[in-house]
Amino acid sequence: MNGGDGDVTAAALDWKFSQVFGERTAGEEVQEVDIISAIEFDKSGNHLATGDRGGRVVLFERTDTKEQDGSRRDTEMADYSNNRHPEFRYKTEFQSHEPEFDYLKSLEIEEKINKIRWCQSANGALFLLSTNDKTVKFWKVQEKKVKKISEMNLDSSKSSENGSFSQSSVSSGRLSNGGSTDTSFSLSNNGFSYPPGGIPSLRLPVVVNSNESSLLARCRRVYAHAHDYHINSISSNSDGETFISADDLRINLWNLEISNQSFNIVDVKPTNMEDLTEVITSAEFHPTHCNTLAYSSSKGSIRLIDLRQSALCDHHSKLFEEPVAAGSRSFFTEIIASISDIKFEKGGRYILSRDYMTLKLWDINMDSGPVSTFQVHEYLRPKLCDLYENDSIFDKFECCLSGDGQRVATGSYSNLFRVFGTAEGSTEATTLEASKNPTRRQVQTPSRPSRSLGSSISRVVRRGAESPGLDANGNSFDFTTKLLHLAWHPSENSIACAAANSLYMYYA
């Protein structure tokens, strides 16, 4: 994919460590609830959201763009201006989901956040969707002025120094019938006087807005009871009014303002469940065309559907799949072909998909096969049997694209993630480690393109293969540490990735 007039043979980017949040100290054990399970930048790139297995959503905001107008800068910022990169700080967090129990199905529903998606911001407020296995929630995060009690609604000269009211605050006066009062009843400690037959004077605090503000997260909508199976995807529409939620067999269309009704637009559930051959694994709206969306399946195919064709999109407008070469099928073929994540490129022409072994880049105008294929960890192929036995072969790795579409990235084991160049002729294949030691340098793995998959595919590139049984650093592979979730900044070369409970950020 050539996204511009730049030099497609340019050298690989030099990635550097930027920040880490939630880094573990030596010997510290990771709590299950603290493991990050979702990451998402908003469209501006000024905010980053993460979700964890404990049902919490944590927001970060960018700080390096908050500069005063004009050219005034601190002298220590001079070096930074020459090597600018995004810097973020913790903003706020809130509990999005709680553990539940479905009594009808005797099923425990985890609080784990499966996906987070940003919606259009308005009036200084941030809006986002978060989901666990069954319920999608719509959140509004906004700064609110802190209100303080400034004074009481009485003349300060009539109050005693300790804040209670003296007997002199009780005034003698005329009753309504013209008689005079010679006695009065006072509750000086409670701050009001009550002459018999009269009206009490109530002492109230005066509340004013202070200059301080605090962030308030409020749940605006709860979209529940629409999925029989676990929700694997949510995606906001470019129209700013609707979104989709997808489970194994169905995709539902929602209006953000209506929480008690959704429209089932895709249903792949067979009449007889014994005839089930594939399930939906991921779904995403087109970034600019509000009528177009794509969803992937466990058979390695991607279907593009047009909402204008029919209310129930049983028939796709385009199908993208790569045929398996004759004689190459094995017990693991269908398992590793299952697509775990798809992402549209910013312009909407390309779709990036991740299966267990590879990244594939598809041109929506060409359904004969992917335009590029990137080997993520080909050295694991001899270990598929072991991976099957320890269930690692079912791990669902995410993928992401740079804003200019010139690079793609995805994660692997041993907390590694890989960055590939997509330009025609590019051989960029960089391996980085999100480790406890931020000063550890990344490893550049030179590689060469291999043979094309077939003459019908215009330019298929396979690159990034490494030595069998070893990771990119030449060390034995660690299947217990895996980098499943990562996100690319929408306009700059910056990647946020999750290694267990730590959020690492790199820039180039």
Host H or E run for residue 335:
helix 333-337
The verdict on residue 188 lying in a domain is: no
CA atoms within 13 A on the CB side of 24: 16
Tally of domains in the chain: 1
Angle at the Cα of 351 from the Cα atoms of 347 and 352, rounded to 5 degrees: 120
The verdict on residue 111 lying in a domain is: yes
* Whole-number Å distance between alpha carbons of 255 and 113: 21
- Give the pLDDT of residue 200: 61
The verdict on residue 237 lying in a domain is: yes
> Do residues 398 and 484 make contact, with C-beta atoms less than 8 angstroms apart?
yes
- Give the pLDDT of residue 207: 79
Describe the strand order of the beta sheet including 56-62 as a list of residue ranges: 36-41, 47-52, 56-62, 88-95
- Give the pLDDT of residue 282: 97
Domain span at residue 294 reads 16-28+47-65+91-147+220-507
* Whole-number Å distance between alpha carbons of 299 and 324: 11
- Give the pLDDT of residue 472: 47
> Does residue 475 sit in helix, strand or coil?
coil
* Whole-number Å distance between alpha carbons of 330 and 310: 38
The residues, any chain, with a CB within 8 Å of residue 284's CB and separated by 6 or more, are 233, 235, 293, 294, 295, 342, 343, 344
> Do residues 164 and 203 make contact, with C-beta atoms less than 8 angstroms apart?
no
CATH number of the structural domain spanning residue 475: 2.130.10.10
Describe the strand order of the beta sheet including 341-344 as a list of residue ranges: 341-344, 350-354, 358-363, 372-375, 462-463
Angle at the Cα of 398 from the Cα atoms of 452 and 138, rounded to 5 degrees: 140
The verdict on residue 209 lying in a domain is: no
The verdict on residue 202 lying in a domain is: no
Output the pTM of the full model. Answer: 0.79
- Token couple for 16: 């550097």
Residue numbers in the chain where pLDDT is lower than 50: 3-8, 68-82, 158-188, 440-469, 472
The verdict on residue 99 lying in a domain is: yes
* Whole-number Å distance between alpha carbons of 73 and 339: 48
> Do residues 244 and 254 make contact, with C-beta atoms less than 8 angstroms apart?
yes
Q: Which of 320, 436, 443, 326 is nearest to 373 (CA)?
A: 320
**DSSP secondary structure code for residue 66 in this structure:** -
The verdict on residue 100 lying in a domain is: yes
- Give the pLDDT of residue 214: 81
* Whole-number Å distance between alpha carbons of 351 and 364: 7
* Whole-number Å distance between alpha carbons of 196 and 98: 54
How far is CA 129 from its chain centroid? 9
- Give the pLDDT of residue 501: 92
pLDDT, tens digit, 9 for 90 and up, residues 45-99? 999 999 999 999 999 999 987 553 334 344 333 343 445 778 999 999 999 999 9
Q: Which of 438, 446, 445, 393 is nearest to 415 (CA)?
A: 438
The verdict on residue 447 lying in a domain is: yes
